[in-house]
């Protein structure tokens, strides 16, 4: 089912399988009273989820909207609190800056650059495996009475296509060693603690093997 037909299913109740595209009105509640056993049950949330996951453009659009909302100007009575909430590092938000610095540090490693076809902030849809990208990231407050800090968590996704798990494990070890040697002093902040949290491996279709590695960085911010 394509992206457009899935959306038709979500808003009209069935897409090309159940509701033909026509100018006449089709009630979205019609399926609730349809007792025909040959027609599968329609689920709105499942249809929207499949449409979103099957379309990288939709995923990127959602992120652009979210970043636009997150970048809205803030007004605060306390200057120190306003700086903490905004967490500006130059012209970029702190979380985006950490992501950029981390990817640049991984790209600079010759061993990783030799083994990986791409090292990107987003999952590179056009690159062939093996590749490395940031699957998710988040930031939380980590401040004290005398300092302003943030706790940043970053999940890296390594995707490879091989039948030898040892090869993938070797690349994961290279990634972990590279992150462990990342310089603590960066532009706009200082890394005071880098901690490996967890990893997860799974097999996917078409012979793909994926490993998710999550790290926690505790940062002191420079204002």
Question: pLDDT at position 3, please?
Answer: 59
Query: Tens place of pLDDT for every residue, the chain, 223 residues?
Result: 565 666 566 555 554 555 444 445 555 555 555 555 555 666 777 788 777 777 777 777 777 777 666 666 656 666 665 655 555 444 457 888 899 999 999 999 999 999 999 998 887 767 788 899 998 888 888 888 888 888 999 999 999 988 777 888 899 999 999 999 999 988 888 999 999 999 998 888 878 888 999 999 999 887 5
Question: pLDDT at position 60, please?
Answer: 74
- Kindly list the distances between the CA atom of residue 96 and the CA atoms of 71, 153, 160, in Å, as whole numbers in the listed order: 12, 12, 26
Question: pLDDT at position 155, please?
Answer: 92
Domains of the chain: 1-72 (no CATH), 77-221 (3.30.2000.30)
Q: How far is residue 102's CA from residue 99's CA, in Å, rounded to a whole number? A: 5
Question: pLDDT at position 34, please?
Answer: 57
Ranges assigned E (strand) in 45-130: 88-89, 92-93, 118-120
């Amino acid at each position: 089912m394509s992206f457009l037909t899935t959306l038709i299913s979500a808003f009209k109740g069935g897409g090309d399988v159940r509701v033909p595209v026509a100018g006449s009105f089709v009630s979205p509640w019609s399926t609730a009273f349809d007792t025909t056993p040959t027609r599968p049950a329609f689920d709105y949330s499942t249809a929207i989820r499949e449409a979103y996951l099957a379309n990288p453009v939709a995923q990127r659009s959602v992120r652009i909207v979210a970043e636009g909302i997150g970048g809205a100007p803030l007004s605060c009575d306390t200057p120190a609190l306003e700086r903490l909430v905004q967490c500006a590092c130059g012209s970029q938000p702190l979380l985006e800056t950490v992501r950029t610095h981390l990817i640049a540090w991984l790209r600079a490693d010759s061993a990783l650059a030799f083994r990986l076809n791409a090292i990107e902030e987003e999952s590179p849809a056009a690159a062939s495996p093996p590749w490395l990208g940031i699957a998710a990231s988040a930031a939380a407050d980590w401040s004290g009475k005398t300092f302003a800090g943030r706790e940043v968590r970053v999940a890296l996704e390594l995707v490879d296509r091989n039948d030898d798990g040892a090869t993938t494990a070797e690349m994961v070890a290279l990634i972990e060693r590279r992150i462990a040697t990342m310089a603590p002093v960066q532009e706009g902040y200082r890394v005071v603690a880098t901690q490996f949290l967890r990893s997860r491996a799974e097999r996917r279709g078409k012979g793909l093997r994926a490993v998710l590695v999550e790290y926690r960085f505790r940062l002191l911010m420079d204002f």
